Chain A
């Protein structure tokens, strides 16, 4: 069966194994020499692809939730949507929410995902109190900050290569309301965008959408979208009903011309607006689309996401945007987020500064552009995001993640035969 990711930029002939219980999972995994875990394939690359794929789809039980303490325990196949639907009526929230509700808790841990509030709460795994991991040798190991800490640091952000996360305990945060007050501020240049973001760190959430069609001089202008939890609930229903994702192919609509029009028009619509929005509308604009094929056609989309340290953010981002312009490639969606300090996970992506993500329609000519972008990122001491990146070379990867040596040591201990392998891990020599 052909399996592909959300972005539809790569696919692989694979056998999909879907156990219904932990016991079955454990027994099935014992029979494979090589395998990789899949949550919901809500990624942009080959990190959850291999010839044999075990999916956690049916391991989706919320096993314990204490509404007094906000501590929740669930199986790794529970997805963000299911979890939020369960906890928001009681005014609890995941401290970190990625841009897709399809991601599972296991996937969120394996990519150590970040949200629009990294400058407040760090990344996802920083809120994980403990997790249980099935290793290649068939052991179930309980990892937390006091036991098997090194294994935890390499499992969080470890792209599923240390084993299968079975169950997770997370500390949630209390919120005043699941309604958000959102503001949009139009900016005039990259400097202005960055300054606006620096001035609004008191807001709960922040993301900037950049206009990729502006002139060289104005490159980096766009709108900064801010949001904070409202003081009171406007709606009794905590979460607005989720509309069925759009599956009508509208890829023909997305072409360089419409994109320019959209980029030009969107900031006007924004100006300085304040409105009340519900959680799902704010966090998951892209979940209105079932998969990227709908938007970008058969070849899918590829994203280039990287992060720069604070002191190089301006130069790095500007150089990248101008580089794309030089290559005359259309940037379909450009977002920027403010990041807080890095954590100790071996492969965690965030570091204090700014992250930039650009969507491109898949195209062979992107190769040379991406190689040059990698050089820029390396030059400014930044790094690329593993779960979004489909092609960086082993050399670039090792420069961006020099701690890979530590990972290899841990991998050697828990998985000496290399049972957990994906196309990504083979590509990067992990």
Chain B
């Protein structure tokens, strides 16, 4: 039985993604840092859909756990990995706390690349597999409210572009999904216009569709492609004065 691994599956978008893959008949490997939540989700999937599911515990910032994880997955049949892992953090706090800065950068970028590396090696040995990695439109241009997070996501985007380049021709497609606002616990404190924010379920289904089509880079919802085009085109001397 080959599984789709969902990394960070216990978050709002992760739960919807796990359900979407399961509803299309895929066996789902729920990976999360909270064992109890991962188990609950995994059992819910098995109860609701005629599929196999299992759960694994992994905190991407725990290097020891990554080692064990690397060993264990060699004995499992995984056909693809979808990563939803992310941590918005608190920009203000990060400005005075090294710890918070580190947590934002590690969770969204450095630690995550270690895990992606593990899967990349695994798929190369298997000569098949796919990646779908969630990044953010925040990586397209830094703004004062979340630039540490944005920079980490931008770093990840660059990393993914290089990895896609390396994997091309090896039957291992890599889809990057740049998300705009989604109504989740990550964005709950923000005042976002209804027009700009999407529902996690709708987003999960779009991610699934785009991954299945082996797209390279997609903005979801699509309008964010245009929004970011505009935002990126604003000259820096203007942009630095905008309150974003």
Contacts of B73 in A (CB 8 A): 23
Report whether B46 and A24 are in contact in the complex, using a CB–CB cutoff of 8 Å.
no
Report whether A31 and B54 are in contact in the complex, using a CB–CB cutoff of 8 Å.
yes
Total cross-chain contacts (CB, 8 A) = 34
**Is B153 an interface position by the 8 A CB rule?**
no
Report whether B75 and A22 are in contact in the complex, using a CB–CB cutoff of 8 Å.
yes
**Is A369 an interface position by the 8 A CB rule?**
no
Q: Smallest distance from the beta carbon of A282 to chain B beta carbons, Å? A: 39
Binary CB contact string for chain A from 19 to 63 against chain B (1 if under 8 A, 0 otherwise): 111111001101100000000000000000000000000000000
**Is A318 an interface position by the 8 A CB rule?**
no
**Is A129 an interface position by the 8 A CB rule?**
no
Most central of B29, B52, B56, B77 by chain A CB within 10 Å:
B52
Contacts of B43 in A (CB 8 A): 31
Inter-chain CA distance A31–B42, complex, in Å, is: 7
Inter-chain CA distance A27–B42, complex, in Å, is: 11
Q: Which of A20, A23, A30, A31 contacts B1 (CB 8 A)?
A: A20
Report whether B39 and A28 are in contact in the complex, using a CB–CB cutoff of 8 Å.
no
Report whether A31 and B75 are in contact in the complex, using a CB–CB cutoff of 8 Å.
no
**Is A17 an interface position by the 8 A CB rule?**
yes
Inter-chain CA distance A17–B43, complex, in Å, is: 15
Inter-chain CA distance A415–B235, complex, in Å, is: 66
Report whether A31 and B76 are in contact in the complex, using a CB–CB cutoff of 8 Å.
no
Report whether B42 and A24 are in contact in the complex, using a CB–CB cutoff of 8 Å.
no
- Given contacts A31-B39, A31-B42, A31-B46, A17 and B52 within 8 Å (CB-CB): yes
**Is B55 an interface position by the 8 A CB rule?**
yes
Report whether B77 and A20 are in contact in the complex, using a CB–CB cutoff of 8 Å.
yes
Contacts of A17 in B (CB 8 A): 52
**Is B53 an interface position by the 8 A CB rule?**
yes
Contacts of B46 in A (CB 8 A): 31
Q: Smallest distance from the beta carbon of B110 to chain A beta carbons, Å? A: 27
Report whether B54 and A27 are in contact in the complex, using a CB–CB cutoff of 8 Å.
yes
Beta-carbon nearest neighbor of B43 in chain A: A31
Report whether A28 and B54 are in contact in the complex, using a CB–CB cutoff of 8 Å.
yes
**Is B72 an interface position by the 8 A CB rule?**
yes
Q: Which of A18, A22, A24 contacts B54 (CB 8 A)?
A: A24
Report whether A24 and B75 are in contact in the complex, using a CB–CB cutoff of 8 Å.
yes
Inter-chain CA distance A390–B45, complex, in Å, is: 35
Main secondary structure of the interface of B (DSSP, over half): mixed
Contacts of B77 in A (CB 8 A): 20, 24
Report whether B55 and A27 are in contact in the complex, using a CB–CB cutoff of 8 Å.
yes
Inter-chain CA distance A23–B1, complex, in Å, is: 13
Q: Would you list which residues of chain B between 43 and 76 have a CB under 8 Å from chain A? A: 43, 46, 52-56, 72-73, 75-76
Contacts of A24 in B (CB 8 A): 1, 54, 75-77
Inter-chain CA distance A22–B75, complex, in Å, is: 8
Inter-chain CA distance A286–B29, complex, in Å, is: 42
Q: Which of B29, B52, B54 contacts A30 (CB 8 A)?
A: B54
Q: Smallest distance from the beta carbon of A241 to chain B beta carbons, Å? A: 33
Q: Smallest distance from the beta carbon of B53 to chain A beta carbons, Å? A: 6
Q: Would you list which residues of chain A between 344 and 362 have a CB under 8 Å from chain B? A: none
Inter-chain CA distance A30–B29, complex, in Å, is: 13
- Given contacts A27-B54, A28-B54, A21 and B42 within 8 Å (CB-CB): no
Inter-chain CA distance A20–B54, complex, in Å, is: 13
Q: Would you list which residues of chain B between 129 and 184 have a CB under 8 Å from chain A? A: none
Contacts of A19 in B (CB 8 A): 1
Most central of B1, B39, B54, B73 by chain A CB within 10 Å:
B54
Q: Would you list which residues of chain B between 25 and 50 have a CB under 8 Å from chain A? A: 29, 39, 42-43, 46
Contacts of B29 in A (CB 8 A): 27
Contacts of A20 in B (CB 8 A): 1, 77
Q: Which of B39, B52, B76 contacts A23 (CB 8 A)?
A: B76
Contacts of B54 in A (CB 8 A): 24, 27-28, 30-31
Mind listing 24 A-B residue pairs with CB under 8 Å? A17-B52, A19-B1, A20-B1, A20-B77, A21-B75, A22-B75, A23-B72, A23-B73, A23-B75, A23-B76, A24-B54, A24-B75, A24-B77, A27-B29, A27-B54, A27-B55, A28-B52, A28-B54, A30-B39, A30-B54, A31-B39, A31-B46, A31-B53, A31-B55
Binding site for A on B (CB under 8 A): 1, 29, 39, 42-43, 46, 52-56, 72-73, 75-77
